Amino acid sequence: MKTLKIFFSSLFLITLISLSYWMVVPFLKSSDKKLDDVNAAYNLNSSEIVSNFTKNKTNSDSLYVGKIIEITGFVKKVNFINERKTVILYTKNNKHGIICDTNIDQLEKLKSLKKNQKITVKGTCKGFLMDVILLNCYIDLNPNE
Amino acid sequence: MNKIVSLLLFFTIFSTFTKNDKQYIARQGQVTFFSYTSVENIEAQNNQVLSIIDIENKEIAVSMLMRAFVFKKDLMYEHFNESYIESDLYPQANFKGEIIGFSPKTPTQDTVIKGTLTIHGVSKKVSIKTNITYSNNSYTLTGEFVALVNDFNIKIPAILTSNIAKTINLKFKFQYQPHEN
């Protein structure tokens, strides 16, 4: 009888801990994720993706928004507006670019970038206004292209 | 259908700004919103807000992607985009208005922007107090205002009403450079 009581008490305790973990963890999970080892859904160059968005925004939204994508292009500038760490890539269309808001751990790489340097950025695509917007970006200084 | 409406609205807003040397652009404007309740404080920031001002016509247009708001926690982001703002249906928020009494060469001025704010597919006339500074051929606009959740037909599930404030505080900061491209 005593063994049964211990068994059910333990079962109750384990269930309670598991439920608490399941309910609390999503509230604690940070939105700031590292993307170094995450596979990209698409791999394009900067002009290609801008061209896709300008030709068919609805279709490109459904293809790219919310996905992790890799974009290869040439550095236009690096800036720290509003204390963000941002790199902007050129595209063939002067009016548009790629805005990459980088993860905090990319700061040293970001500081080392030179204008016109060829890089690949991997980040979560948020869509297109006048530029393609990528957040939480990881920088690859040695693009394979 | 709503996506097409958003798209048309976006192009309507920015197409009236025919490019000239009187235009200034901010591609990395900042909009922050705060919701304070006794249960939970929620804050999110969008640092890729697009805005153009025309200093001759004293016009301003703003457009932002709702999915570009960054929250501290994943769950807040999910609730915001899926349950409240419905970002798949209404991916952007837009504003178009007039800067009242704008004096382009004044180093610093407090003024009011009057215009139409569209969030969640609902448009509403608003007046926003703004500070504008002018230095080295660039403008900085800052300000804050309060928006009512009910005004934009945003429905909060009954179970979460105590977590989300009925009034949302919005802060903005745009740094404009001459629109060269």
Clarify whether residues A97 and A70 are in a common domain.
yes
Clarify whether residues A24 and A48 are in a common domain.
no
* Closest to B51 in 3D by CA, of B27, B33, B30: B27
What is the per-residue pLDDT across A82-95, written as a single tens digit (0 to 9) for each?
999 999 999 999 89
A131 touches chain B (CB under 8 A): yes
In a domain, A145, yes or no: no
Q: Can you read off the two tokens belonging to residue A145?
A: 């292209």
Clarify whether residues A5 and A65 are in a common domain.
no
Clarify whether residues A51 and A108 are in a common domain.
yes
Helices (H) and strands (E) counted in chain B, each on its own, are 2, 9
Among chain B residues, CA nearest to A25 = B75
Clarify whether residues A87 and A110 are in a common domain.
yes
In a domain, A119, yes or no: yes
Residue A71 has φ and ψ, to the nearest 5°, of: -125, 130
Among chain A residues, CA nearest to B5 = A58
Q: Which helix (H) or strand (E) holds B78?
A: helix B74-78
The CATH number linked to A61 is 2.40.50.140
Q: Is the dihedral of CA A59, A65, A67, A73 positive or negative?
A: positive
What domain range is A22 assigned to? Answer: 1-30
Q: How many domains does chain B have?
A: 1
In a domain, A37, yes or no: no
In a domain, A36, yes or no: no
Clarify whether residues A18 and A55 are in a common domain.
no
The Cα–Cα gap between B99 and B57 comes to 9
- ipTM (interface pTM): 0.86
**Angle, CA B119 vertex, CA B102 and CA B20 arms, to 5°:** 40
- Which residues of chain B neighbour A29 with C-beta distances below 8 Å? 73-75
Clarify whether residues A5 and A74 are in a common domain.
no
What is the per-residue pLDDT across A34-77, written as a single tens digit (0 to 9) for each?
777 889 999 999 999 999 999 999 999 999 999 999 999 999 99
A104 touches chain B (CB under 8 A): no
Q: What is the pTM of this model?
A: 0.84
What domain range is B7 assigned to? Answer: 2-178
Taking CA atoms, A83 is separated from B30, B136, B138, B172, in Å, by 11, 20, 18, 14
Would you say residue B127 has pLDDT above 80?
yes
What is the per-residue pLDDT across A82-129, written as a single tens digit (0 to 9) for each?
999 999 999 999 899 999 999 989 999 999 999 999 999 999 999 999
Q: How many domains does chain A have?
A: 2
In a domain, A10, yes or no: yes
A contact residues 1-60, partner B, Cβ 8 Å cutoff: 26-31, 57-58
pLDDT band, very low/low/confident/very high, at B161 (cuts 50, 70, 90)? confident
In a domain, A3, yes or no: yes
What is the per-residue pLDDT across B32-74, written as a single tens digit (0 to 9) for each?
999 988 888 899 999 999 999 999 999 999 999 999 999 998 8
Clarify whether residues A113 and A57 are in a common domain.
yes
Helix/strand/coil percentages in chain B, nearest 5 = 20, 55, 30
Clarify whether residues A58 and A116 are in a common domain.
yes
B10 touches chain A (CB under 8 A): yes
The CATH number linked to B46 is 2.40.128.110
Q: What are the E-state strand segments in A9-92?
A: 42-45, 68-79, 86-89
Would you say residue B171 has pLDDT above 90?
yes
**Angle, CA B86 vertex, CA B46 and CA B64 arms, to 5°:** 30
A15-18 long-range contacts (CB < 8 A, ≥24 apart) are: none
Residue with the larger pLDDT of the pair A118 and A1: A118
Clarify whether residues A7 and A54 are in a common domain.
no
The Cα–Cα gap between B176 and B155 comes to 35
- Mind telling me how many Å the CA of B77 is from chain A's nearest CA? 8
